[in-house]
Amino acid sequence: MKVVFLDRDGVINTFPGNGNYVTKVKDFHFLPRALDAIKLLTDEGYTIFVVSNQAGVGRGVYSQDKLNRINKKMMQGVDKAGGKIKKAFYCTHRPDVGCSCRKPDIGNILKALKSIDGEITPAKRPYFIGDTKSDMETGYNSGCRTIFVLSGRENRRYMRGWIVKPDFIAKNLFEATQFILGHKEPFSKKRRNNNSKS
């Protein structure tokens, strides 16, 4: 089975800014061509999951109900565009709780794979697409191939001190999808520093 994990904010929708959250349905805006990308992956037989930290719920910034409504808007938008997200997994706990589903821990990756009776094997390594160091560490920790997109929170400058480097770099989700489907060469094929997997 072909699997892709996506972070949400800065990958699928507009990043709300450091320290901020998407707290209202009206503030959720798809990034350009993100819906096209998800449709392409769907058409090519990929099972797509969203894995996102949303600690604003645990901090009391917005409610679980608000998160559910935002998620519903995302899912409906994807469906309307012809794509399919299998399920979105959110960690709503504060960072100090120590939850195993909060990225860069891989609890939600394992839940997603269990839901489809899947596993990560060398021959069928999923992709993890995200816009932060934490996303790249999550992908690495779970054995995924990682794609760092420049459409969200962090850019190339942030990567200088990273121990875990992305497998590939893309402008956005659509370009990352082009890499996955073999339609375009990635910006970078450089492997991780001292923790490369063969």
Tell me the catalytic residues.
7, 9
Half-sphere exposure of 113 (CA within 13 A, CB side): 18
C-alpha of 11 from chain center: 7
Type and span of the H or E element at 75? helix 64-80
Tell me if residue 191 falls in helix, strand or coil: coil
Tell me if residue 103 falls in helix, strand or coil: coil
The answer to whether the CB of 134 falls within 8 A of the CB of 53 is yes
The answer to whether the CB of 23 falls within 8 A of the CB of 56 is yes
In the DSSP assignment, the letter for residue 17 is: -
CA 65, CA 49: separation in Å to the nearest integer?
20
C-alpha of 9 from chain center: 8
Cα R_g (the chain), whole angstroms:
16
